[in-house]
Structures are given as C-alpha cells and as structure tokens.
Amino acid sequence: MSAKILDGKTVANALQEDIAQRVELFVSNTGITPCLAAVLVGEDPASQVYVRNKERACGKVGMASELFRMPEDVSQAELLNLVQGLNKNDKVSGILVQLPLPKHLDASEVLDAIDPQKDVDCFHPSNVGLLSQGRPNFLPCTPHGVLQILKHFNLPTAGKNVCILGRSDIVGKPLALMLMQRTSETCGPDFANATVTVCHSRTPNLKAMTTQADILIAAIGVPKFVTADMVKPGAVVVDVGINRTDEGLCGDVDYDALLEVAGAVTPVPGGVGRLTVTMLLENTLKAAILQAK
C-alpha cells in the first residue's frame, strides 16, 4: 500500500488565490489595504523563517505587512507599549506576536494586551472563549489549516475517531475544540462532529489510543515520534510537527515508514505549515473587514 500524499502547497495556493480576490475587492470598496503587524523579539532562526514566510504571503495576496523587531532583552513594559500602539494604529488590521518569547517576559500578559479584534492568532481569552462556545470570532490558524487540508482532499471528520497528540494552546487544544463542535464555520458539519481523544506526555499506553484513530494528528515536537506500528492501516495522518534536525526539517511522524501503512499523510515541509500561513492571511482580511464596519 502507498499512502496518498496530502500536499499542502496545492491547498494553500488555491486558498490564497481566493483570498487575493477578496482582498482586491475590499481594497477597491474601502481604500483600505489590510495590514499584518508581526512582532519578533530576539534572533531565533526558526521564528525569523516563519515571520519571513508570513510577510511574503501577505505580499502575494495584496496585503501589507510590517515587521516590528525588538531586541532579546526588551522589557515587558516596552513590549506592552508596542502592542498598545499597534492596537491604536488604524493602519494595522492584525497583530501577531511571534512565539516563543524569551523567558524573562510574561507571554500571557502580552497576548492578552492585543485588541481581540486584531487577534489574528486567536489567542485572546475572549476569542478562545467564543471558539469553545462554537461562535468563533477568529479561527486559530494551524487548527483551521488542518481542517482546510482535510476538506480539500475530501476526508471528512464527522463520526470519525480522531486522536490528537499534543495539548498546546496553539495547536492541540483549539484543534480538539473545533473537531468536537457540531459544525465548522468555514468547512461545515462534515469537518466537525468527531470523537476526539487528546493525548499528551502523561498518557499511558499511547499506542492503544493512536491505533484506534481513523485520523491521527501529531503536534508534539518530537522528530519521527509516530512510527508505523502506532497507525491503524489506512488511517489519515496529519503531521503538524516542524523539527529542525541535522538531516534538515522533519515532522513528528516517520513519514517514509508511514507511506506503507497510512491511507494518507501530510509531508513536512509543504504540509500544514503552508496552511498556517494561509489562514493567517484569511484572519488578517477578516480583521480588516471587522474594523471597517
């Protein structure tokens, strides 16, 4: 058996074409160009790559982006001051503070300071609360990207056993919330209504959980953690992990081995990461529309 490869580039390009058209329409109707403000603290190489990808993608769909770089030793007060300035700045539609932040900073306090209507990451407690109640303002980028890949390849989640590895606030937890809802705002009821199992570092006998899954989603940050014996034959495997190793970029799943057991699998790079960036563009346009009202 050879798994179908769920190419994120194709999905991202199709969605970005659609976003570009809506951006053009919005600009011609309002005279406003949606703008993403990205805040980057320090010199972390991975963060720099991601932020660069985000800026490039903004340009591709006709949106503006502005990068705000802060030194590694920036104070909490200075960073809060920057965020408050961006909240007030009418030219800025969306604000993204790239994570992780250096340890001396209180990330929650910084993220909570972002105007919920500019919170394109969907990290603000009011936006997370709305998401959990099934009436989202913004959809979180990476979880939304996972749904969009599944939708593009017609792999519905309704009635399926979905196992998520990882319970972070950026991927695992919001993804679990979205998949257990009755419907998805953008993808409909076929891409919700899952029976969701969330696993983490304190889950005993992980393999017993993963082998039950029709759809297995890995978001733990451990290179090639998911091996062929952990996957039910024919299952859909979504690899969210992005790990930098000596042999280059790799995901949380043992991709080559899984090609022989899985029904479908996302590559890294060229998988979910592409969609994360695309859904950020979607949210930035949405933010601009909210603010134009």
Ligand X SMILES: NC(=O)C1=CN([C@@H]2O[C@H](COP(=O)(O)OP(=O)(O)OC[C@H]3O[C@@H](n4cnc5c(N)ncnc54)[C@H](OP(=O)(O)O)[C@@H]3O)[C@@H](O)[C@H]2O)C=CC1
Active site amino acids: 54, 98, 121
Is 168 annotated in a binding site? The answer is yes
54 three-state secondary structure:
helix
Is 188 annotated in a binding site? The answer is no
Site string for ligand X, 182-201 (x = CB under 6 A): -----------------xxx
Q: Which helix (H) or strand (E) holds 94?
A: strand 94-97
Nearer to ligand GUE, 62 or 145 (CB): 145
The verdict on 270 binding ligand GUE (CB under 6 A) reads: yes
1 three-state secondary structure:
coil
Q: Where are the alpha helices (DSSP H) in 141-251?
A: 141-152, 172-180, 206-210
Residue 176 contacts residue 200 (beta carbons within 8 Å): no
Stretch that binds ligand GUE, among 22-30, 151-159, 174-182, 268-276 (CB under 6 A): 268-276
Site string for ligand X, 249-288 (x = CB under 6 A): -----------------------xx--x------------
Report the site for ligand X in 48-87 (rule: CB under 6 A): none
- Give me the phi and psi of 159, to 5 degrees please: 75, 0
Is 244 annotated in a binding site? The answer is no
**How far does the chain reach from its first CA to its final CA, in angstroms?**
52
Report the site for ligand GUE in 77-96 (rule: CB under 6 A): 96
Q: Report d(CA 241, CA 280) in Å as an integer.
A: 18
Size, binding site for ligand X by CB under 6 A = 24
Nearer to ligand GUE, 223 or 271 (CB): 271
Task: Out of 111, 240, 265, 285, point to the residue binding ligand X (CB under 6 A).
Answer: 240
Structure tokens at 61: 């769909």
The verdict on 114 binding ligand GUE (CB under 6 A) reads: no
Residue 145 contacts residue 133 (beta carbons within 8 Å): no
- Taking every pair of Cα atoms in the chain, the longest distance, rounded to a whole number of angstroms, is 56
Chosen from ligand GUE, ligand X, none, partner binding at 49 (C-beta under 5 to 8 Å by type): ligand GUE
Q: What is the dihedral of CA 139, 141, 146, 149, to 10 degrees?
A: 100
The verdict on 220 binding ligand X (CB under 6 A) reads: yes
The verdict on 274 binding ligand GUE (CB under 6 A) reads: yes
Residue 268 contacts residue 251 (beta carbons within 8 Å): yes
| Binding positions for ligand GUE, rule: CB under 6 A | 49-50, 53, 96-99, 121, 141, 242, 249, 268-271, 273-274, 276-277
